Structure 1
Amino acid sequence: MDPSVPVALDRQLTAEARVWLAEAVVRVTRDPSALAALFPAVGRRCGREPLVAGWTVADAARARLLAALPVRGTALAEEITALHRYGDSAEQRAVLRSLAALEDADPTFADLGLPLVRSALRSNDTHLVEAAVGPYAARHLDADGYRHAVLKCVFCSVPLDRVAGLEDRADRELARMLADFAHERVAAGRAVPTDIWPVVRAHPGIWEASGLPAEVDSPVPARRTAADQAVAAYNGAL
């Protein structure tokens, strides 16, 4: 978790919300079963406003409750899986955003949260998809899973700067997949998200092999327009 998140939470909570959350943390520490009732109440008691780095107040407050759970490893995974399964999308998002911090605090948690990441990546809820591609996914998804997570973001219009670890994990195969995606969009006369191009440019030959450059000579006006835009973006003109 970004260290600025808990600091921002403490600054933004009202006095009443701060007291409620502190008492809730104590209750969870003493009795983990209390979390089932407290977790859904967070938005109403603490607020749902945007905080920092894509987090909301409710996300950060729920993360604090999860951190208070006095269980580790498999038991922790079971607790958060139940919360994710029965929670609404806001509760699921908070669980996903908390995964890396939970592992930092408990290394035995390891990759036990991966099923939740994979479940979110199968959804069409862009908030869940974005929450799923955080630092925890960057640590634990295998190469193929990570590539498809990036493609999911592109399809769902989740900006790639929200994808953790992209600079380190983007490889030639991902660049090829993104170039193929771009070619499909151009062939349909549709615009291509410009944030894919740094990944493609980092791997020489991918752009040329994709067939995209030839689309500027397409007899179909919409394809030519889309290709011109893609070429300009690839070359850094947009």
Structure 2
Amino acid sequence: MLAAPPLPGTPAFMRAFAAAGRRLREAPPPRGDEVTALMALGIAAPALWSGPRLLRAALLATAVEEADGAADGKAPARLTAAFRTSDSEERAAILQSLMLLPDPARFAALAADACRSSVQPVFEAIAGDNRFPAAHLSEPVFNQMVLKAVFTGMPLARVAGLAERTTPALRRMAADFRSERRVAGRIVPADLDLLLDAVSADHSATYPANGISTP
């Protein structure tokens, strides 16, 4: 009988999660049917994933399923503990894997906290090439994430589902931001015009991962 996977946040899990990136760097990235399957499961840009990230996602999903099987109702808390004790690359892997987890909506608080991260690769892991925010974040959190993406220079074309989640409230916030920049004599990011002109920000996998597709 195969041993049960370690629960998220436990020392055994953290060791295995770290090892997936540090010892398996030669693992191949997802290809062909794997890319198609990941897209069907809600991963926006699986072609940008590395092999170690794919292995970490599989380990994470299996561990969360095991935590659910324990029936202690602590899977979100366990994953949050794992996130807080991880390095930036591991945090990015967790955030990019959220759509693969059972009942992903329950991890919205973790995603919202990641939107406030001052570490750009961690922020981009949740905001860019990730369908979780559009699917599960509340309107205020999603809107703040979009404006932060503009402010930090992440292309809005990387925000999956932006066209569907663009609301009058988000456009008002963008208009206020643009006005503040103009009054201050600062450059207005072109993406603000994209938002305010209601141009469809169609998600594309052509943008580089800017460091977050590493394991």
TM-score in terms of structure 2 length: 0.70
Segments of 5+ residues of structure 2 without an aligned counterpart are: 30-45, 200-215
Structure 2 counterpart of 1:66, from 47, 55, 60? 60
Q: Are 1:180 and 2:173 counterparts?
A: no
Matches within 5 A, 1:165-176: 165-176=161-172
Q: What amino acid is aligned across from residue 56 of structure 2 in structure 1? A: R
Q: What's the counterpart of residue 96 of structure 2?
A: 97
Q: What count of residue pairs does the alignment treat as equivalent?
A: 172
The higher relative CO (CA closer than 8 Å, separation ≥ 6) is in: 2
Check conservation: 2:174, 2:192, Cα contact below 8 A.
yes
The within-5 A match list for 1:145-224 is: 145-202=141-198
2:28–2:51 Cα contact (<8 Å) kept: yes
Question: Aligned residue for 2:79?
Answer: 80
CA shift, 1:168, in A, is 0.3
Once the two structures are superposed, residues 28-52 of structure 1 have per-residue CA deviations (whole angstroms, 9 ceiling, x without a partner) of x444353221111222112299965
Code of the aligned partner of 1:99: L
CA distance in 2, matches of 1:111, 1:174: 22
Offset from partner CA, 1:114-150 (integer Å, 9 cap, x none): 2211221111112111222322221221111111111
Partner residue in 2 for 1:126? 120
Aligned-pair identity in percent equals 36
- Within 2, Cα distance between the matches of 1:82 and 1:91? 12
Give the aligned CA root-mean-square deviation in angstroms.
2.6
Q: Find the residue that maps to 1:46 and give its secondary structure.
A: coil
Q: 1:53 to 1:38 in 2, by over 3 A?
A: same
TM-score, with normalisation over the residues of structure 1? 0.64
What amino acid is aligned across from residue 117 of structure 1 in structure 2?
A
Residue 38 of structure 1 pairs with residue 16 of structure 2: yes
Bigger share in helix: 1
Q: 2:132 aligns with which of 113, 133, 136?
A: 136
What is the CA–CA distance in structure 2 between the aligned matches of 1:190 and 1:198, rounded to whole Å?
A: 18
1:114 counterpart letter in structure 2: A
- Structure 1: segments with no counterpart, 5+ residues: 1-25, 204-238
- Report how far residue 188 of structure 1 moved: 2.6
The amino acid of 2:171's aligned partner reads: A
